[in-house]
Amino acid sequence: MSFIDLPADRPDLPQVTLPSCVPALVPAYRERLAALHDVARVRMYDDSITDGREFLRRIEGADLAVIAGFHIADDVLRELSGHVRCLVFSGTGIASFVNVPLAHSLGVTMCNAERYGDASVAEHAIALLFEIARGVGHQNASLHAGRWFDEGGMLQLQGLTIGLVGFGGVGRAVARIADGIGMRVKVWCRHPDREPLAEFHAEPAASLDDLFAGCDVVSLHLALNEATRGMIGAHELDMLRPGSILINTARAEIIAPGALVERLRRGDIHAGVDVYDHEPLAPDDPILALPNVVTTPHTAWKTVRALDNVAVQNADTIRAFLAGSPEHVVD
């Protein structure tokens, strides 16, 4: 572990602390947070921790804290609220990392990063889809093992129907790619906007049930909140017809606990999954024992551009908050 502490000679400036960092974000944060030296004292730790007491020790005296992958327990949140005025998150799904209603009740402002990785996550969703359809990774492994891949039955995506659950920035980016490769696009969202639907030659699904029952591919693109937590359950998953594919690069908690594994165990559908209820994923997690799922370790957003976008937006958010004009506030 090491940390930067800039500027050390300005005790008059407010303190901004990054107490724990996702390794992939370290280079971007080193550059972008250091640029705040004229408006704040910046203390940045470059390792990743899980212990709440160590977290509190590191943010002692901080006015703002940047949260990059750390899960804040309620007792930790109550203690830090005595001096931390703002929590700045390195992403959008903050409900996975902090008790949002409790933070509001304690008077802690929360800001997130928005639209920083729409294209990156969308490309990853399509990459999972292509891997399931064409098995490029499997074919590559076969050749490197000295086996000539001579299997048929691969899936052509052109002409298939992809159903998008949610149509925000990532959903629209997926629609753009899917439309480009000749897929038919259907969309379910609470407040459909006809103009972007037309832009991607997409059509609204009559209902969520209609989308799950009528699409070859279903891809989830919802934010996690109390309205979406567990909204996809056994009922919806049962409607997936044999041979269909489910992609989840959003949040695991959108699917009811255990429901996806149970559905996959029937063996008649495939899934591409980048997010999990508990991360890092345990080596004995049942989803890893299933042959009909492609898994990646929550890396959909981790492109160089997206990582820098997070750091830039977080730094801008800190400047705005200290100037009295908070941006990207989570309400």
The number of helices, as runs of H, and strands, as runs of E, in the chain is 12, 13
- Token pair of 329 as six digits: 């506030």
The crossing angle, in degrees rounded to 10, of helices 26-34 and 304-322 is 30
Give every strand in the sheet of 245-248, ordered side by side: 202-204, 184-188, 161-165, 217-220, 245-248, 270-273, 293-295
CA–CA gap between residue 289 and residue 168 (Å, rounded): 32
Catalytic residue annotation: 251, 279, 298
Percent helix, strand, coil in the chain, to 5, is 35, 15, 45
How many angstroms separate the CA atoms of 47 and 133, rounded? 38
Burial class (CB in 10 A: 0-12, 13-18, 19+), 225: middle
The one-letter amino acid code at 247 reads: I
Answer whether 58's CB lies under 8 Å from 10's CB: no
> Around 246, how many Cα atoms within 13 Å sit in the side-chain half-sphere?
32
